[in-house]
Amino acid sequence: MNAIANLSPDFSRRGFLGVSGVLVLGACLPSRGMLGQEHQASPFEPNLLLAISSDGTVRVTCHRSEMGQGIRTAIAQVVADELDADWARVEVAQAPGDVKYGDQNTDGSISILLNYERLRTAGASARLMLRQAAAKRWAVDVEDVRAVHHEVIDADGKRRLGYGELATDAALLPVPIGAPLKSEAEHRYIGKPVVHVDAEAITRGQSHFGADCSLPNMATAIIVRCPWLGGGVRAIRNKPSNAPGLVAIEILPPAPSAGPLFAPLGGVAVVAEDTWTAIKIARSLEIEWTNSPNHGFNSKALQESLREAVMKPGTPVPGSGKGDVDAVFAKGGNEVSAIYETPFLAHAPMEPPVAIADVSEKGAFVRAPLQDPQSARGLIASYLGMALEKVEVTLTLLGGAFGRKSKPDFALEAVELSKRLARPVRVQWLREDDIRHDYYHAPSVQHHRAIIDNQGMPQAWLQRTAFPSITTVFAAQAQAPAPFELEQGFSNLPYAVDHQRMESTGIRPGVRVGWLRSVCNVFHGFSANVFADEMAAAAGRDAIEHRLAMLPTGGKLNQPGMPAPAGHELDFARLREVIERVRKLSQWQRPRPEGVGLGFAVHQSFRSYVATVLEASMVNGRPHISNAYVVLDCGTYVNPDSCIAQMQGAVVFGLSLALHGSIDMEDGAVVQSNFHDYPVLRIAEAPATKVELVPAQGRLPAGVGEPGVPPVAPALVNALFAASGVRYRSLPVTA
C-alpha cells in the first residue's frame, strides 16, 4: 500500500469531481443517539466513501476517528476487498465532521458493527459498475466479464482493462441496487492481517497528533481551572501585566453542574506566544475561587452512600422479577453474600486533550483529536450562534482516547479564546489538567446475595447495583441509571435462576462523569464474575465447571429491561464456546507451582464474547501476573492482528484499573494529579498474553475495542484467591 496516511482535509467532493475520469461512489450511513449504545436504522444523506481516479488510484474515505484501533485500515480493507482492488494502489483520506458521512461517533465499539454491510456494498457496487463499463465497451454481456485485482477481464482472458481506464465510463452509470457481495471464502483482505496504513508514518514520527499541528499567528493557551466543579474566579492576586511572550489572561465563566452539553469548565486562560511561557505564568498565578454546591464533595462519602443504597431495595429492572426471592431467603440455607466496590476512574490517555481553533467573521475552523467530529461541529456552531456550514472541523490522529475525546469541551475552550482574541489559539491540557478535570468513570457498589445448593447452583439470587449515571452530565434532575447502562452486564446477566430479582439505584455525583472504555461493564462484569467464583468456592467446585453448569447449553437470553438488537442476542452456545476455548488455551488443568493461582472470568459486551484466564501470585505482598489467556468471539472480524492487539491492550488497560485505578476527591478537588499517583501498568507488571480468535463462521460483526476489558479485573481477583485464599472485593486490589 502507498504511503497513504493523509490526514489533510484537502480531499473534497469538488476536488474529486474536478479530476478527469473519476468514479465516485457514496453510501448511506445511519445515525446513533449520543447517549445510546445501539445503532438505529434512519439513514443520512449519501456521502463519499470511495473514488477511483483515471490513474487507477483508489481512495477510501474514513469517516471514523483513528486512535490506534486501526479503523482507517479496517474501513479500507472492507471496501478494497469488495472492490477487488490492489491494496498497493489504495489510499485513505480522513473525512471532516459532516452530517453527510452519517454517524461519526467512534465510540461504543460499533464502527464495523454499524458500517460493515454498507462498506461492502460501496465496494461491490463500484466493482459491478466497472464490469458494466467494460462489458459495454466490449459489447458483451456483463456476466462474461469479471473484476479481479484492479482490472476487468473478459471471458477468455484476452482483453483486460484497468480500473483507471474504466473510471470515466463507470462514473456515467447509475449506482446499482443489490450488487452481489463476495462469499467469505472469496475475501482477499477481510479477515486477513494487514499492516495499519498509519504504522510507518507513526513509527517515523511523521504523523500528526493534536499538539503537532499549528496555524500561522497561533497562540497557545494553558487554562487554570477551579479545583471543584462549578467554581468561578473571584480574584487573581498576582496577575502579570507585561510578561515577555504573554498575549492575554482571560477569565472564562464557570460551567453549570449539568449541561449545556459538554460545556467548558471555565477558569483562567493564560494565552502566550509559546507553550512554555503559558505554562510558567499559569503555574505562578494565585487565584481565589468562588464556592459552588460541589465544593464540599467527598468521594469517600459518596462511596458510603452507595454502600447504604445497595443494602436497601432499589428500583426493579422491568421484567427482571422471577419467582419469590424473599420466600427462598426466609427458608434459609447455604447463603453467599458479598458487596463489591469500584472507585472513580480517569481515562488518562497518553495524549491529553488539545484543540486548535481559528474563529473569525468568515467562520470557524477547528482541528483536534476528536472521537465525534460531527457532533463537535454542531456544538461549536450552536456555541457561537453560527450557521453550521460556516464551521469546519477536521481530525488529527488521536493519541489514545478511551471515550474522553468524544466530549469536545476542550475544543469549545479553543473556540471561545480564538473568538475573543481574533487569532488562532491552541488550547493544551497538561497531564494534571487531564487527571483533575476529567469526565470520570462512575464509582459503583454492587450487592449480590444468593442461596446455593450443594453444587453451588443458585436457587435464589438478588442483585443490586448503585452508581452515578452518565445522564447526570446532561440533565440537572437526572439520577436513575439508564436502561442502556443496566444492559451493560447487569440486566443481561446470563445466569438465569428460578428466583431472581435485579434492582438499581442512582445518585448524583459532585463531578462530571462520562463513558470510559467498556463503561458500566467494568463494574458489573467485576461483581458478577467474582460472585460466581465465590459460589463455586463455597461448594468446593472447579470455577469453570461451575460456570458451565450455570449456563444453558443453547438458545438465546431473553433479557429483561433493554433488549439486544436483532441478531445480537446473547447466545449461550457462543458463551460456552469461549469458555471451553480459554480452558484449553490456558491449560487450566495443568498443575501450577505452589502459590500460583488461576482465575477465570467471562463476559459478553458490545455484542462480543470474551473469556479470560490470568495466572497470578503474591510476591512481597503485591500481585504478580505472569500469564494472560484471552479468547475473543466478535463474529466476523476484518483484521485479526488488530483484534489480537486490542485484547492485549485490554489486558494492560484492565490491569491498570484493577491494580492502580482510583481517583479520590476531597472538598470537591481531585487528589491525584499525574502518573506518579495515578499510574498505568508498567512493562515489568505486564503479563505474557496469548489471544485466540474464534473463527467468524459468517456471524455478524461485533465490537472489539472494549469487550476485552471487563473480564480482566475479576480474573485477577479470582486468581489471587486461588493463589492466596484472600478474596478481594474492592478495586484497586493494592489500595
Quote the pLDDT of residue 447: 98
Closest among 628, 646, 645, 641 to 704, alpha carbons compared:
646
pLDDT of residue 243: 93
CA pair distance 41, 30, nearest whole angstrom:
6
Angle at 322 between CA 321 and CA 327, to 5 degrees: 100
Which pLDDT score, from 0 to 100, does residue 12 have? 33
- On the question of a cis peptide bond just before residue 318, with omega within 30 degrees of 0, the verdict is no
Euclidean distance between CA atoms 102 and 469, whole angstroms: 27
Cα–Cα distance between 221 and 224 in angstroms, integer?
A: 10
Q: At what angle do helices 111-138 and 71-83 cross, to 10 degrees?
A: 30
Name the residue among 176, 24, 28, 26 with its Cα closest to residue 114. 28
Cβ neighbors of 338 (< 8 A, separation 6 or more) are: 447, 448, 449, 530, 531, 534, 729
Q: What is the pLDDT of residue 11?
A: 30
Read off the pLDDT of residues 121-157 as tens digits, 9 standing for 90 and up: 999 999 999 999 999 999 999 999 999 999 999 999 9
Angle at 551 between CA 549 and CA 556, to 5 degrees: 160
pTM, 2 dp: 0.93
If DSSP codes are grouped into helix, strand and coil, which group holds residue 430? coil
Per 3-state DSSP, what percentage of the chain is helix, strand, and coil (rounded to 5)? 30, 25, 45
pLDDT score of 241: 81
Q: What is the CA radius of gyration of the chain?
A: 27
Read off the amino acid at residue 228: W
Bridge partners (DSSP) listed for residue 58: 52, 90
Average pLDDT by stretches of 10, the chain with 735 residues: 39 31 49 33 44 92 96 97 97 94 92 94 94 96 97 94 93 90 96 97 95 97 97 95 94 79 93 98 98 96 98 94 95 97 98 98 97 96 97 98 97 98 98 98 98 96 97 90 96 93 96 96 98 98 98 93 91 98 98 97 98 97 97 98 98 98 98 97 97 95 97 98 97 84
Domains parsed from the chain with CATH numbers: 5-203 (3.30.365.10), 210-292+353-428 (3.30.365.10), 313-346+439-724 (3.30.365.10)
